[in-house]
Amino acid sequence: MLKVGKKIIVVALGGNALVQEGEKGTIQEQFANTRKSITGIVQCIKKGFDVVITHGNGPQVGNMLLRTELSRDKVPELPLGICVADTEGAIGYMIQQTMVNSLQKEQIDKCVVTILTQVVVDKDDNAFRNPTKPIGPFFAAEEAGKIAKDQGWEMVENRHRGYRRVVASPRPLKIVERESVKRLLESGEVVIAAGGGGIPVIVEEDGSLEGADCVVDKDLASSVLALDIKADCLVMLTGVEHVCLNYGESDQKPLATITIKEAESYMAEGHFPSGSMGPKIQAAVNFLKGGGECVFITAIDKVWEAIAGKTGTRIVP
């Protein structure tokens, strides 16, 4: 259990926090899912933790890109960075409004602030030549093949869920607005930042920032943000209650507590695919090696139970 006190936790909401499997992803559905997702986060705030919320945006960006493709002859094409910025604002609004309403009901006097967050990446990162980051909805094999041919998208298979588009996802290096996040936390505010991994930018020779046509993994960016603001704990919420070995197989084994060494060993054995649990485990390792106290990975409605030591997977140095 993470000891209650004046600690900073970064809570990363997975993509299923807003759009769950089998849903169309309407705004009404997304608001309803957001209300379910933040219940445990409000509990953490009640217990005295300072909280920064990050979130995914894969389904939302995928849908935005699909709309752009379908209207290619009518409106200008949008680069990935702009799609991330648009969804960071829209999803931030949903989480922010939901948090404000929940805090008011609990008579907690805190402001909630969404920061459009830029994340620095290396323009020479090999990821630009090797797209691997899944975004958007899942497709059946036949439909995925047609879309790949018509739209020029690269698609990869998730053996449990179907096919999905992949785009370049370079490693995040630092959060441009990290000092703003720190100051807001020091003022007692709840901060929503690095949505969808943040808006990717490169640093030019003169020090100016320029948008990059790619996306940044939300969990890896959350880890960088957590280290930048000296957070004590990183909590990553997803569609399962525990990290598992042999996930989806008859000998599936849930993990309760593991060390960095064990996590790296399991990764090397191929237990955590890059399109699902892999980035979360890598983010956990990066955070702990950078000085973080602990990491929790659990289901979106189990955040407080995980921190209280009742469920979830805990990763420690």
The domain segmentation of the chain, as residue ranges, is 8-316
pLDDT value, residue 197: 95
Q: Which residue type sits at 17?
A: A
Would you state the structure tokens that stand for residue 36, as one six-digit string? 């379910």
**Residue position matching structure tokens 């209300």:** 35
* Rounded mean pLDDT, 241-256: 90
Q: How confident is the model at residue 25 (pLDDT cuts 50, 70, 90)?
A: confident
As a CATH number, domain 8-316 is 3.40.1160.10
pLDDT value, residue 2: 63
Would you state the structure tokens that stand for residue 102, as one six-digit string? 């929940």
Q: CA neighbours within 13 Å on the CB side: how many for 7?
A: 17
| Of 40, 62, 92, 133, catalytic | 133
Q: Is 149 part of the annotated catalytic residue set? A: no
**pLDDT tens per residue across span 79-107:** 889 999 999 999 999 999 999 999 999 99
Q: Which residue type sits at 149?
A: K
**Residue position matching structure tokens 């980051």:** 133
| Of 14, 15, 40, 136, catalytic | 15
Q: How confident is the model at residue 5 (pLDDT cuts 50, 70, 90)?
A: low
Q: Where do the H-state alpha helices sit in the chain?
A: 27-37, 39-46, 58-70, 80-105, 141-151, 178-186, 218-228, 260-268, 278-289, 303-307
3 state SS of 168: coil
User: What gap in Å lies between CA 150 and CA 202, rounded to an integer?
Assistant: 30
User: What gap in Å lies between CA 317 and CA 290, rounded to an integer?
Assistant: 10
- Quote the radius of gyration of the chain (alpha carbons, Å): 19
**Residue position matching structure tokens 């979130």:** 55
Q: Which residue type sits at 124?
A: D
pLDDT value, residue 251: 87
DSSP 315: E
pLDDT at residue 274 above 90? no
**85: how many CB neighbours lie within 10 A of its CB?**
20
pTM of the predicted protein model: 0.90
Instruction: Please check whether residue 222 is in contact with residue 10, taking contact to mean a CB–CB distance below 8 angstroms.
Output: yes
| Of 14, 198, 218, 312, catalytic | 218
| Of 56, 280, 286, 302, catalytic | 280
Q: Which residue type sits at 201?
A: V
Q: Is 133 part of the annotated catalytic residue set? A: yes
